[in-house]
Amino acid sequence: MSPVLLAFLLAAFTGALFVVVGLGVNMWAPLLLGLVAGIVVGDINLGLRVGATCALLGLGFYTYGGATMPDYNIGAIFGVFVAKQVLGSSATASIDEAISQGLIVATAIALLMSLFDILGRASTTVFQHGGDRALAKRNLGSFQRWHMAGTIPWFLGRFIPVFIGMLFINRYQVVSDFISRLDWLQRGLGVVGSALPAVGFALLLSFMEIGTYWPYMLVGYVLFAYMGVPTIGLAIVGLAAAGIYMKGKKDQALAKGGN
């Protein structure tokens, strides 16, 4: 597949997916887009690892009510491609080093995408005013057209940067060299990269009933920290544990119903 066609397809996919999210179907997640990028580059494990880390970084940035924030969804895509290129260009680079390099670029892209998000959201006011005028004239057909046209800036707000970025993805080293020349920026990204996953984990744990499900958390921790089980393995174990738990609850309900 040619680089231009690949860039176009990924850009169209991300733009369309962002519009679908605006319609109420929430599929906009770094883990999902990291998985898609991993499938494209032929390394699903790499896509899941970069996507999962970007998801935690996004949790650390989440504003809980604010609209615009760094877009680690797009960052995950670029992070996977960069990490794959690092692995392919250096025979001595480990997967952890490649992921670290990919996350640096992913963080820079995510911060840049916040500007495109603001521009895309601001430009929708043109269509909103057009819809208001149509409603004032009680022209429902015109209002519907203005409403649908309002998705265009949302689509282009992801399509344009992804398309341009993918065309120049082979020049990712320019971004890395720029960051490396700015010590303060490199230190800042390093602090962010270390702190935000911890904040993300803390926020995630705050929504979980740890008091009830703490044994599962300990099992997961032991499997990851001491036995080196990869992310996919942990997901399978978690799915099995959830199935066992739900089956137990169902059996309890049936037993109570029989009595």
Q: Evaluate if residue 150 carries a pLDDT over 60.
A: yes
pLDDT digit string (tens) for 12-45? 888 888 888 766 666 778 888 889 889 988 888 8
Looking at residue 65, its pLDDT comes to 45
pTM of the model: 0.63
Residues with Cβ within 8 Å of residue 147, at least 6 apart in sequence: 127, 131
Q: How many CB atoms lie within 10 A of CB 237?
A: 16
Domain assignments of the chain as residue spans, ordered by start:
3-207, 209-259
First-to-last C-alpha distance (Å) of the chain: 64
Looking at residue 259, its pLDDT comes to 59
Q: Evaluate if residue 84 carries a pLDDT over 50.
A: yes
pLDDT range class, residue 131, cuts 50, 70, 90: confident
Looking at residue 116, its pLDDT comes to 78
Cβ atoms of residues 36 and 47 within 8 Å: yes
pLDDT digit string (tens) for 204-256? 677 777 778 888 888 888 988 888 888 788 888 888 988 888 888 888 888 77
d(CA 57, CA 172): 21
d(CA 162, CA 117): 13
